[in-house]
Amino acid sequence: MTLSGKLIENSVMIHENGVEELHRTSFYGRPRDNALELSLPESAFLIYVDKIKVELDGIELDFRQFFMKASSLVKNFELFYIVYKDLRERGYFIQPAAMGFRVYPRGGHPGKTPAQFFVFVTSERMPLALSDLKKHIDTVDNLKKRLVLAIVDEESDITFYEAKRTYPSGTCKIDLNISLSTTSFLEDRCMIWDSSTSNELHNGRFFGKPMDEGLLQLSLVESSYLMNKGIIEIENRHNEKLDFTKFSGIASRIESDFMTKYKVYEALRNRGLIPKTGFKFGTHFRVYRSFEKVSDIKHSDFLVHAIEHDHIFSLLQLSRAVRLANSVRKEMIYASAGSEVDFFVIGRMRL
């Protein structure tokens, strides 16, 4: 039996039989008084499967006409329809939400179980502001749900990602008891000449990279961190001491995002983690949760990329980073450096 409805503003209203036929058995729509309210993606899907017919100003709309009308009412309607249809055909029950959809767990439905996921729908071509992502994550966290990003590519395939806050921690604390050592600032790194300091820093806490026996190269962020800890002093080629302000200013001219990286590096070290360069993975850091000695070092645990608090994601770049991290069996974590450092893990998921 095909039910009749009317398009009213941004929804379709079905007469009272719709509640019994569509909602109580298949959980489409939301009962409103003696009628059933359907969202535009729900309505398009139900027209497509011949469950309903919809009129506008007394004229019945076929699927094409309804789709075009809905596209004029809701920006990027086609994306919402693509995702809705995909999830419905996978057997999920879905309800609309401000950011996209509420999705119920398998075996669950409205009235029986709470929603499990909130799905944010977007296109591969749309930039995603970190501020918006944070807002969505905070919303679902308050509701004790999980946030899913449904990214639709140009061929209408969907890739699902889960995004959530994370609070990484490790077991490596900085408790070095060594004398203040003088370090030379070269072109884009620093050199420790004292062999005992070099060995203690590298073998004891995995700082730097040995160049020759007794000599240790430090990266810019490592050098800044150790200077702030009072473990090293940094001098330029003219034996002039550099304080943090001078050194970070020079480092920022070498690396435009130096201060962002440094804030994240410091936060990771202070959490008992060991960050090392992630260049080979296309990220700022590869990170180890624990460390005993260099000879026993194993694979890093996850990757971290430092971003500004006003960062805007390119979804193509995000996809590339997550794919690479997954290919080496690591999590991809983004660290937002503002007044505090917040960590977000983004990974592919299957629904």
Contact 136, 118 (CB under 8 A): yes
Which of 238, 280, 298, 299 is the catalytic position? 299
User: What span, in angstroms and rounded, lies between the C-alpha atoms of 346 and 351?
Assistant: 15
| Residue 219 and residue 227 in contact, taking contact as beta carbons nearer than 8 Å | no
Catalytic residue among 104, 276, 330, 334: 330
Residue type at position 263: K
| Collapsed DSSP state (helix, strand, coil) of residue 311 | coil
Q: Is 310 exposed, middle or buried (0-12, 13-18, 19+ CB in 10 A)?
A: exposed
For the question of residue 288 being annotated catalytic, the response is yes
Rounded Cα gap, residues 86 and 99, in angstroms: 17
Active site residue 299: yes
CA–CA dist 331, 89 (Å, integer): 30
CA atoms within 13 A on the CB side of 254: 16
State how far the Cα of 1 lies from the Cα of 64, in Å rounded to an integer.
21
- Point out the catalytic residue in the list 28, 262, 288, 334: 288
Per-residue tokens: 181: 């050592």
8 A C-beta contact, residue 258 and residue 221: yes
How far is residue 35 from each of residues 13, 24, 50, 260, 286, measured CA to CA in Å? 7, 13, 19, 54, 56
Could you give the residue numbers annotated as active site?
288, 299, 330
